[in-house]
Amino acid sequence: MTTAKVLITLFLASVLAGLLPANAETVTGKAVYEQHCLSCHQADGGGVPMMQPELWGSRRINGPDTALIDFVLGGSASLPDEERAYSNEMPGFDHLSDAELAAVLSYIRSRFENDAPAIAARDIAARRSEM
């Protein structure tokens, strides 16, 4: 490939990238959601009646960062019985990286009728060190 072709390719790529959502975290968050969350919470975040909760306008998702991060790192096993309205247990996701967790939580917070600020990888790291 000549230098000119490389430059043209780079130029086209940058134009195309400008047409797509610019936030790299959104893209990663979507991928993490599809691999680790979608089968239970479904593509539309609607969950499965009786088995897994919907993510729509969720109090937990829109609530304090620390409680949300702890819940996702530790899973639902720590919930008191009266909060167990769903039959399936959510595993802890501490095997995912700080960046993956930050990306997926930010992704979920920006859709499914949720509206809360993004979460940074350093926020995840801080909670992880407390556990």
Partner 1 sequence: MTRHALLAFCALSLLGPVSASAQSRDWSAASGEQDATLGIRVPKGFKATVFADDMGRVRHLAVREDGTVYASLYSKNKDGWLIALTDGDGDGSADEIKEFGSFGGTGLALYKDWLYFSSDTTIGRYKLGEAAVPTGDAEIVVSGFPSQNQHATKPMTFDDQGHMYVTVGAPSNACQERARTPGSPGLSPCPQLELQAGIWRFDANKTGQKHGEDGERYATGIRNGLAMDWNHSANALYFIGHGRDQLQQLFPQYYTAKQSAELPAEEFHRAQKDGNYGWPYSYWDHQRGERMKGPEYGGDGKTPAENPDFIAPLTAFPGHWAPNDLTFYTGDAFPDYFRKGAFIAFHGSWNRAPLPQQGYNVAFIPMNDAGEITGDWSIFADKFKGEEPLASPRAATHRPTGLAVGPDGALYVADDAGGRIWKITYDHR
| Closer residue to partner 1 in complex, CB, 65/96 | 96
In whole angstroms, give the CA distance from residue 43 to residue 79.
25
Q: Shortest distance, CB of residue 5 to partner 1, whole angstroms? A: 35
Q: Shortest distance, CB of residue 76 to partner 1, whole angstroms? A: 9
Contacts of residue 4, Cβ cutoff 8 Å, sequence gap at least 6: none
Q: Shortest distance, CB of residue 13 to partner 1, whole angstroms? A: 28
Q: Shortest distance, CB of residue 99 to partner 1, whole angstroms? A: 17
Q: Is 115 helix (H, G, I), strand (E, B) or coil?
A: coil
| Closer residue to partner 1 in complex, CB, 60/95 | 95
For residue 72, the number of C-alpha atoms closer than 13 Å in the C-beta half-sphere is 28
Q: Which amino acid is at 99?
A: A
Contact 85, 53 (CB under 8 A): yes
Q: Which amino acid is at 3?
A: T
| Closer residue to partner 1 in complex, CB, 70/94 | 94
| Closer residue to partner 1 in complex, CB, 9/97 | 97
- Residues found near partner 1 in the complex (CB under 8 A): 34-36, 38-40, 42-44, 46-52, 54, 75, 77, 84, 86-92, 95
